Structure 1
């Protein structure tokens, strides 16, 4: 068995738990010995390994300069798959949790100006971005939408920024006025958006004429593809492991490698977390992930093997 692990796991302890909004808890995680945690930058997330077959990704929403603890915010989703319910019901102060990461596919690029758009729990990766933009002396604005005022997390922290932050509870004001918001964007501003898929798709559809690299999105669920996934088998050669496998139409590369005892770190298995990112040595890729930008996908040097496939006859991977 070959295990290609990118990120070590560590056990942390919950040292603080408090309500951040209706249905949202804020958890503070520390090492049991009080030691230093790995460095991270705004946009990073961690994997919480809650139980066998129960892993979830949560954005770090504290202060990157505080190396003694991490903070996450978790929304309880009544129609979810069990991860948020487990956190809300079982993860209390004193609880030990296994964590992998941090990892970052949503980093804050340098720019003179930023427009941040958050929907619901999508505020979590935006919080440290705002602090970093402020530290850099950049101009910025945040539009924060939610279903109800009481469900919008971390409002006290955000209110300290005054009129740079616009709160937009849907029950009072309707949907975020995206046409007006985006029309007022500074020409040199980068746009960072996180939230439900409907919000991301709406922003994405309005950004088609923007220069490449202007819009940055982070998804909590897989985006929809107009074209169906390829329905043909292909070969995958693993350079490090020295094996070659055939990937059937109804199996992912990740599943096929696991069946051949080649294990790559994975978590969501939906192409949204980036855990299974793998270097591609050669071959054309049919990207089906929701993580890489169009520019990163076009480079053709990495892929998420839980969902993406070969566009041609095969791939050579660095595993």
Structure 2
């Protein structure tokens, strides 16, 4: 079914419905849609929006949504409603790129978008106007290249009440949780927080492949959130082989000052002291040319490096979680 608005989808209690929302067309007039799944519980309750693939290479969230909506959730035993969008940016997915190819934009930097703007701005506007307006809570799945662990990002915009609700979702999800040390404009989570919608952003493992352990954490964590929100009965379960939630921490990124080949001196979940060497950079002759020092005392949660240990000046090397 293709819709002009989400209200056209007639979902019935205990059932799963699927539909497509038109977002644009290609130069040959091929029309492109966003897939939407709606699961309606037997009893009233909150509406949870699940989104994935804002970035076209981060397919882990698709796997989590697929498993939840088609295998794990029994809508006859659920309260409220789940709206799931497994592919928010099909244009970026089609070319296996982080960015929307038609305008070279990062969709996660243009929210709330513009109905008359560029393609990315129009997608963002459609999500904001058609989907977010229906939701009480949001989980937006992203993925990080390995080596990394599953972690959750929370936004610090919005009111104290919104921040508290987002933190409650993150604690229920169960993974180590961080807030960015700096603010980025136009993010989906920042927009949601600013309009009063609690949101968490789980960062799963692997961008271009499914990682079973990461998907398991995403599924269990989401069900934990639904239990926390009263949509499902039961108590949250701990995530397996995932650093657990302890307290909200700060999220710090480190970028390469010089290009070369990176040798890691630390592993994921290792503790570091501020100023401690966590990696060295070597030139083409094998000579060490730089040491990389931890900017904070904390824990290593990812070495993204775009999946490549040969880096260019300015490439992202590591993420750290540290106490405030």
State TM-score, norm by structure 2.
0.27
State TM-score, norm by structure 1.
0.28
Of Structure 1 and Structure 2, the greater helix share is in 2
Of Structure 1 and Structure 2, the greater strand share is in 1
